[in-house]
Amino acid sequence: MRYISTRGAAPVLTFEQAMMTGLARDGGLYIPETVPQFTADEIAAFAGLSYAEVALRVLTPFVGDSFQQDELRSLITAAYAGFNHDARAPLVQLAPNHFLLELFHGPTLAFKDFAMQVIGQLMQAALARSGKRITIVGATSGDTGSAAIEAFRGLANVDVFILFPDGRVSDVQRRQMTTPSEANVRAIALAGDFDDCQARLKDMFNDFAFRDAVSLAGVNSINWARVLSQVVYYFTAAVSLGGPMRPVSFTVPTGNFGDIFAGYIARQMGLPIEKLVIATNQNDILHRTLQSGAHTKQGVNPSISPSMDIQVSSNFERLLFDAYGRDPKVVAEQMRALAEEGGFTVGQGALEFLRDGFASGRASEEETLAEIAQTLAETGELICPHTAVAVKVARDYLGTVPMITLATAHPAKFPDAVERATGVRPALPAHMADLFDRPERQTKLPNDLSALEAFITEQLNP
């Protein structure tokens, strides 16, 4: 299996190389040259298998020669061993034909654990083989950072630096990043929003001297291995509800477009998915794009679903690549316009491609709070604000096809919003009960590339 860049001017890589590289050297994102297909019989045979076994079958054709089967099996099994639910990604029913896919039973209580735990295992194995050392720098709107720190804390050949927007993550999210005491992980509170964090991270990748000096690696959802790991639960959920014989739909609370892009890949692999619904909060660039064709940044408005407070939705580039018939020149030009002019208009053919494959909707802050209350009243389930955005949007698409809405975080990660909506303050699970008693450790830095690079260099060479 070979991986190519969406901008067409970076080396073609193997799975392992694409995973260790993160962002392509031409600024693009790696994508498989061809997407492997399953037959209906192969998908039907997933029924009754463990989550790890389905993961092994889904990952194998993408991994190619990078990992042997036995090694891959044990790495995947180890990745999911720390989850608190035997099903890993259980389904809960909300209403006739409406289901919630609970993706928050991992160690940091958000769906990011599904991919980060796998990538942690795979990177560790690859580094042990090569004897190399890497520096992981990640940008987070809240949940990626804690998931990455959890996956890499204490590892011998990895240093981790996480940039988060100062003051714009929940207290639980911040403490999950600032309380681990291992010396190889550092949390950086950046004076800016998530788009600034992501932009500085991309600047570091584009500073080849720095990139090579520190052996920079990325674990943001631009990393193909992360998207791939998320493909698995689309299969397990659909098969639980009668797939592939019965099609299902998904509604996904969307920010950086990694999670829903994984659903698009599952569909390309042969899983019958009727609708893929993009649910956005008030930061609704993707919804506006589908409505009007205009992909225009408007500045980030902080919301009660902070992990979706994004205007530059990185993985959307992967979808555009397909929408334009895999023409890297058009993608590179549109990405240049997004960076330099604040936006671009999706061409007519490409827009039809997007509308064929996806529906979309948006939930305001008031609607999100009302949905948390309504879901509790109707079902007894307490949901997080991100999940509530999606449940609200999904209501417009309920019908004869089962709708599966992704529950991306545990409500206890966002206790203030949940309490505001319902009067109920969700408690942290036992393993995190002392989170607010642990000492915090963070470094505040300006939104400035050279300050960041200087800090990282100094930390690596004390």
Chain positions contacting ligand PLP, by CB under 6 A: 110, 112, 143, 221, 253-259, 307-308, 386, 408-409
Whether cis (ω within 30° of 0) applies to the bond prior to 411 is no
Q: How far is the CB of 290 from ligand PLP (least distance, A)?
A: 15
Measured from the CB of residue 119, what is the shortest distance to ligand PLP in angstroms?
14
53: its two tokens: 């076994």
Please state the closest distance from residue 131 (CB atom) to ligand PLP, in A. Answer: 33
275 has catalytic annotation: no
How far is Cα 356 from Cα 289, in angstroms, rounded to an integer?
A: 14
Q: Specify which residues 187 forms β-bridges with.
A: 162
Distance in angstroms (rounded) separating the CA atoms of residues 84 and 114: 12
Residue (121 or 408) nearer to ligand PLP, CB: 408
Q: How far is CA 93 from CA 138, 188, 271, 378, 385, in A?
A: 35, 39, 21, 11, 18
Q: Which of 267, 268, 204 is nearest to 455 (CA)?
A: 204
Where does 247-341 show beta strands of DSSP type E? 248-253, 273-280, 294-296
> Which CB sits closer to ligand PLP, 124 or 144?
144
Comparing CB distances to ligand PLP, the nearer of 137 and 172 is 172
Nearer to ligand PLP, 110 or 338 (CB): 110
Q: Minimum Å distance from CB 409 to ligand PLP?
A: 3
Our CB check for ligand PLP shows the closer of 127 and 163 to be 163
Q: Which residue do the tokens 């690079």 mark?
A: 453
CA distance 54 to 213: 38
* Residue 240: CB minimum distance to ligand PLP, A: 21
Active-site residue, selected from the candidate residues 112, 202, 392, 413: 112
From 128, 141, 157, 125, select the one nearest 225 (Cα to Cα): 125
DSSP 4-51: EETTS-S--B-HHHHHHH-B-TTS-BEEESS-----HHHHHTTTT--H
Asked if 283 and 309 touch (Cβ cutoff 8 Å), the reply is: yes
Question: Contact at 8 Å (CB) between 370 and 304?
Answer: no
- Strand segments, DSSP code E, in 112-170 are 134-139, 158-165
Nearer to ligand PLP, 210 or 234 (CB): 234
Q: How far is the CB of 161 from ligand PLP (least distance, A)?
A: 19
Of 175 and 211, the one with the shorter C-beta distance to ligand PLP is: 175
96: three-class secondary structure by DSSP: coil
Burial class (CB in 10 A: 0-12, 13-18, 19+), 53: middle
Quote the least distance from Cβ 177 to ligand PLP, whole Å. 13
Q: Are 23 and 222 in contact (CB under 8 A)?
A: yes
Q: Cite the active site residues.
A: 112
